[in-house]
Structure 1
Amino acid sequence: MKECHLIHYLRLSHHLIVLNYLICTFDKLKSVSSEDIKITDAVFDGVEVRVFEPPAKGDESLKRSVVYIHGGGWALASARTSLYNNLCRIMAESLNAVVVSVEYRLVPEVCFPEQYHDALRATKHFLQPDVLAEYSVDPSRIAISGDSAGGNLAAAVCQQLSKDEDLPVRPKLQALIYPVLQAFDFNTPSYQQNMNMPVLPRYVMINYWIDYINGNYDLAHELLINNHTALNVGQALSFRARLNWTSLLPPSFKKNYKPVVQSTGTEAIVEQLPALLDVRAVPLLADDATLARQPRTYVLTCENDVLRDDGAMYAARLERAGVPVTLDHFHDCFHGCMIFTVWPTDFSAGVQTRNSYIKWLDENL
């Protein structure tokens, strides 16, 4: 995507706008075998959503439901692109569930915390009893889910919902697909192991973070070597124990990698970008009391993914807090694979992970 960066350099447009335009232009909406699913676009508390409804059956009562938040580095893709449109159609059909796909605003139009606010507003609107009744949804059988950056937003939304004492309906489950959950340590074993892995190399993930929290690319190297969370950065000290991968990861993940901890770093980075330690942006840094309030959780991770350890550490912390957790790890899969199930990107890894994810939802929702 060198052309996108050239356009950005020449100040003709932001490179992410150009990249998203190219994605949507080349995206051909491919039909899948779920012709009976009703698809409607709506607005939930000012946020656009796409709703997928399976047909009503004669003696059927209320349906299950999934609120789905798409990935794309908080900057790319859409609920309307074929990749997510098809995923949500298949989910609605396979689960006989109402699926609400959230069309949150993207970088560079908005930055953190607006994506989080969009996802939270849309979800809370849907959880209102009268709205659930309108869509014939069982209030006791709702899941919050998302992949990658959408998994980040789903986890953050779930944490906030657990703190809302006035919420009449709460999600039964959360399901996070290779979620991005922290910007504290860019040298976890999976970040080191997969730093140059296609689809999502480490420098690309760091740039997504910089765009999301409205930072400057000049800080990329500082983040890469963990200068923002060095031992002399006072704001980071209280969070260090919550992200100690040496105690949270299994030996098969840790391998022979060593922690990268700077004794002296740059405290001004966190002062300039406080979102780096804001749990609404980095759900893995939440305290134990918040984690203990989370619903039954599914976390899918892939071996060939810089974000593998984000998901594994979150699963470990949730389990230690007493939350029932399923960590579904795929040794031969890569970041983003679940949405690549339609020709010409019909990867077996995508079908394998999607089927496992839907199976868990079907058994637990």
Structure 2
Amino acid sequence: MNCCQRPPEGDMTPEQNGSRNQSLQDWLQLLSQDESEMHGDGSRATRVLIATVYCVVCALGLVGNLLALHLLRSRHARQQSTVNVLVMGLTITDLQFVLTLPFWAVDTVMDFRWPFGKVMCKLVSSVTTMNMYASVFFLTAMSVTRYCSVTSSVKMSRRPHGCSAKWVSLFIWSSALLATLPHAIFSTTVKVTDEELCLVRFPDSSWDPQLLLGLYQTQKVLLGFVLPLITISVCYILLLRFIISKRVGDVSGDHSHDKRRSKVTKSVTIVVLAFFICWLPNQALTMWGVFIKFDIVPFSKAFYNAQAYAFPLTVCLAHTNSCLNPVLYCLIRREFRAALRDILLRLAPSWNIRLPAITPSASVAPGVIQTSVRRTAGLCCR
């Protein structure tokens, strides 16, 4: 199931599933009883609001991620460090992700009816799912890389460089593609209550299709949320423990290095926390549906209301992460702020904008931004 589809994602009819698919029968019965409510003015207003949010996120995400790509190519961030390569991969992932939002906006406005055909259903839903996996994989790799980078710099070991990071990026994309294969194979357009929807449909077999759908959604929650959360949490716990131990054991250490290390760690932490805060509600509701498919909890009106009304809002929250990451890069990473200031300096004459002058300093090493530039760039990004 893609994160934007209509709640009744188990796409087999009650006649096909029989007694094994009681939860879906309950869903369709409740949907039939509440059809007037689902298609009422409140529901229509909600759909229009959600579609509007999709369009706004798409526009902001396009501008933000394209700007982030430009900043990554600037002279301040051109070095092929591991973090920069991973940030580049994450930015490309978010850019592809927001390009699918106009399709889901139309789907939402049309009461979740899919008007683009079977081929586009497979393509758009698969790209959406693949980039969801790739985003969390890149964020996980950034956390692992940050831990390895900090510990190796203190131990004076050889640091990973951009070349190895490119192989890591290739592995991430390959893993995301592999995890998306079930979605790419089984996503299709299906008639549900006389409406053509874009769903994941497993074929008739000795296995209950709803059970297969539950297993697939469990895979999404585990690979796309739980396991990365555990990995990232362990990395930051170990990193915090390492930094504390070094500060205690080396009082006369390099405070400038400690300060820089702390800033970089803070930036990665904020980006990662933003991802999980945005995706947690969506993943929680998805897991609730999995419990129902496995008959762990019964189908209820509360679940119906959550899927019909709360689930689309969690999708909006999840999608905002794709335009939030570039903003975080601009606000946190000083090389991006300096590159953004360079852009504003070039645009200032044509816009008749006066920016404070910068006095060059010959003592500043390459890649180090002067204090005056940092302060001014910080004002540009507030």
Q: Which has the larger radius of gyration?
A: 2
Bigger proportion of residues as strand:
1
- TM-score, normalization: structure 1? 0.22
Where relative contact order (Cα < 8 A, 6+ residues apart) is larger, the structure is 2
TM-score (norm 2): 0.21
